[in-house]
Amino acid sequence: MFKKLEILDEKDKHLRKKSIESELPLSKKEKDLIDRIIKELTYSQIEKYAEKYNLRPGMGLAFPQLGINKRIIVIVHEVDDGEFDNYVVVNPKIVSYSNEMIAAEAGEGCLSVNREVEGHIKRYARVTIEGYDMDGNKLRIRAREELSIAFQHEIDHLDGILFYDRIDPNHQFYTEYELRLI
């Protein structure tokens, strides 16, 4: 039985709060919720399930989007057609990043923002994330390109930042000459 998650809308004040560090290891309730998040994010990226369950495509979700202000993020990254890598990071921190900046050419979206938002968001092309897995083991993840953008987007949620906060109102769009668009 599949039951959709109740993802908060951008107007909800929970999304603007800075999240607290999460205690480790995670509780069974938190681990069960992470399993549901992984399932929904995976289904949302597979067309037949997305249609069947009326899911908007998404590759990441942060606990604050479910009204839980803990520093936990989940990313389901499609690495090949129908093949996914799952990332669950508790108390993530960006510990290093590239000088090169990129932006998603089509812009970014968010499961909490149910409208089109136009503009490019400058992000680091490569980031290194440190944090912990669900059992409290230390993690170190190097991410690049699309995955790097996803990590930065989800970590922003933990600090009460929505992606459109990062769109420069004086320079909403970049050309390939100004910034590498992916």
User: Which residues of the chain register pLDDT less than 70?
Assistant: none
Query: What is the structure's pLDDT at 1?
Result: 80
pLDDT of residue 15: 98
* Long-range contacts formed by 21-29: CB under 8 A, 24+ apart: 21/70, 21/71, 21/91, 22/63, 22/70, 22/71, 22/72, 22/90, 22/91, 24/90, 24/91, 24/132, 24/134, 24/135, 24/136, 25/134, 25/135, 25/136, 26/72, 26/90, 26/134, 26/135
Q: What is the pLDDT of residue 161?
A: 98
In order of start, what are the domains of the chain with their CATH numbers?
24-181 (3.90.45.10)
The confidence score (pLDDT) of residue 115 equals: 96
Positions annotated as catalytic residues are 154
Phi/psi for 98 (5° steps) reads -80, 160
pLDDT at residue 53, rounded to an integer: 97
pLDDT of residue 157: 98
pLDDT at 89: 98
